[in-house]
Amino acid sequence: NGVSYPASIKDTIVFKKEGYPNFLKDIQGISYAEKKGRWTDAELNQNAIFTFKEPLPTKFKLEIVCKAYNRDKNENVVKVKVGDSIREFKADHENSDKYTLEFDNNQNSNIIEIAPPKPFEPTEKLEGSDTRKRGIFLVSLKIIDMKK
């Protein structure tokens, strides 16, 4: 997945940066960096999957700053899975908002899986060569350990 840069799991993943922090082992379903972030892309993988080198904290908050492509917020349900815990939120279309989700990671999972809403293919409504199937636009992601 390209270049990695030195970082700690306490640091925010900033999606406009080139590359990813070195605490990540693998990333799937995420498109290339743009000026403010990255789109999830169902052409690459149905869901965005972040595999960490180490298990995630046993109790943590996940802060996601993102927005969805679809104008109907009721259709913009984003599901986030860690181990057997699933949380969801409805992403805004206009603004990149911060969504905070709490997880108990009793299985010592090292994977965060984000299931975006139904992807939008720009070629359905727009001219151009961009064939990505966009779900949500990710600006940042942060893990806050609640045990410390």
The answer to whether 49 touches 26, Cβ cutoff 8 Å, is yes
The answer to whether 2 touches 22, Cβ cutoff 8 Å, is no
The answer to whether 119 touches 130, Cβ cutoff 8 Å, is no
| More confident: 117 or 103 | 103
Mean pLDDT score of the chain: 90
- Which residues, in sequence order, are CB contacts of 119 under 8 Å at separation 6+? 40, 41, 42, 69, 133, 134, 135
What are the backbone angles phi and psi of residue 51, rounded to the nearest 5°? -105, 120
Distance, in Å, from the CA atom of 136 to the CA atom of 93, rounded to the nearest integer, reads 9
β-pair type (59-68, 134-145): antiparallel
- Which residues, in sequence order, are CB contacts of 11 under 8 Å at separation 6+? 21, 142
DSSP H/E element including 13: strand 13-14
The pLDDT score that the predictor gives to residue 132 is 83
Q: Using 50, 70 and 90 to split pLDDT, how confident is the model at 20?
A: very high
What percent of the chain shows pLDDT beyond 70?
A: 92
| More confident: 135 or 148 | 135
* Closest to 116 measured CA to CA, from 70, 55, 83: 70
Q: Which of 24-38, 79-93, 119-133 is least confident?
A: 119-133
For the entire predicted model, the pTM comes to: 0.91
- Which residues, in sequence order, are CB contacts of 104 under 8 Å at separation 6+? 58, 59, 85
- Which residues, in sequence order, are CB contacts of 3 under 8 Å at separation 6+? 18, 19, 20
